Amino acid sequence: MAACSFCSKEIGKGTDYIFAKKDGSVFHFCSSKCRNNQLGLKRVGKKADWVKRKKPESETKRAKKKASPEKK
């Protein structure tokens, strides 16, 4: 299974839009909304408000609690 190049959502087999550039790079999109935002409107997925990306472990509240020392 591939992930969407714009919103990084998992895409089921046979349900994605595929765009291949002349240089050989391939983009997979889950919807026409993602395709139009990246190719037509030149937007970046991580800056779009409606995109829900998974945060890295270092940015989550759980990781911050483990890193801070406990007060006694």
Instruction: Tell me how far CA of residue 42 lies from CA of 21, 63, 71, in angstroms.
Output: 15, 33, 48
3-62: pLDDT as tens digits: 888 888 888 887 888 889 899 999 888 888 888 888 888 777 666 666 666 666 666 666
User: Which domains does the chain show, CATH number per domain?
Assistant: 2-67 (2.30.170.20)
What is the C-alpha separation between 45 and 47, in angstroms, rounded?
A: 5
40-57: pLDDT as tens digits: 887 776 666 666 666 666
